[in-house]
Amino acid sequence: MTLPYWAQRYLERLGIEQEPPTLSFLEKVCRAHLNAVPFENISKLLYLRDFEKNGFHIPPIDVYVENMFQFDYGGTCYTNNSHALTLLKELGFIGYHVQLGSSHIGIIIELDGERWYADFGSASPFFKPVNFEKDHDNLTAYDIEEIRIVPDPNQEGFYRFVRYRDGKVVKDDWDFKPDEGKEFGEFTETVAQSNKPGAFFLTHLRCHHYQLEQNRTLSLINNKLSIKYDDQRVEEVMLTTREEVKEVMEKEFHLPNLPVKEAIDVLGELGVDVFNRENATKV
């Protein structure tokens, strides 16, 4: 079966070709997606700026894919996970969304009688899907970040997304019930709330990108650049100008088209100074 043009382009961006919907191919999609598509709110800020003209906060999938090529866009969870699931369904997988806590959406894929958790929008190292119901010792890790999806001890039928950094729990307030599948349209109000003044991703600048071929992870939060290597080394640099941030996007992230200067301007209009020293440590 011939894929629609947007799906062909999506796979082109990921650097992979269509295969039958097997666990092996699902793992290949997960790894390719995290290596090719950044987790970032730069596109979110610009979609917000252009909302009156375009009429959307989450772009249609054909626009999302073309903006990957034109602007090096990725997105946050609502954008990346909604469109990744659409691609997976087009490739023959069966799946649905789950809501984690009050602010995140993940993906459940049903395959060979088992349910697998996948995530392309949490800045987490989900390089392969997690068999969370059968493998309670599952561990998803890269550099100093680790994620486990474990049964919730206080709620029967629920699971909890637990994030560790340097061996310490830094987030454990995302729970979900895999039996409560949702379509993306059910998150309309949640998406609207995420685009109101003061919403989390409208209060800072963020870009997170895995570079597996270089064995490192890059993270930009406001003007703080962190480069983490798989041997536990960490380099940190404080950037002082818009030009330095743009240069980092080009030379380190290898995302030369990402309009980070424009996103900094949008944040400025929202009252956020990304070069304020206090802001670098708030997020």
| Residue 279, pLDDT score | 60
Q: What is the CATH number of the domain that holds 224?
A: 3.30.2140.10
Identify whether 242 is part of a domain: yes
| Residue recorded with tokens 């984690």 | 100
Please answer whether residues 65 and 85 qualify as being in contact, where contact means their C-beta atoms are separated by less than 8 angstroms. Answer: no
- CA 270, chain centre distance (Å): 23
Please answer whether residues 86 and 185 qualify as being in contact, where contact means their C-beta atoms are separated by less than 8 angstroms. Answer: no
Identify whether 211 is part of a domain: yes
Identify whether 86 is part of a domain: no
Burial class (CB within 10 angstroms; exposed 0-12, middle 13-18, buried 19+) of 232: exposed
Identify whether 83 is part of a domain: no
Question: What tens digit of pLDDT does each residue of 10-39 get?
Answer: 999 999 999 999 999 999 999 999 999 999
pLDDT beneath 50, residues of the chain = none
| Residue 158, pLDDT score | 97
Identify whether 148 is part of a domain: no
| Residue 232, pLDDT score | 80
User: Following CA atoms 67, 69, 72, 73 in sequence, which dihedral angle do they give, to the nearest 10 degrees?
Assistant: 30
| Residue 280, pLDDT score | 52
Identify whether 257 is part of a domain: yes
Q: Is the pTM of this model over 0.85?
A: yes
Residue 246 is part of which domain span? 189-281
Identify whether 46 is part of a domain: no
Count how many domains the chain has.
1
Question: What tens digit of pLDDT does each residue of 145-176 get?
Answer: 899 999 999 999 999 999 998 889 999 999 99
**Which parts of 158-205 are beta strand (E)?**
159-165, 168-176
Identify whether 68 is part of a domain: no
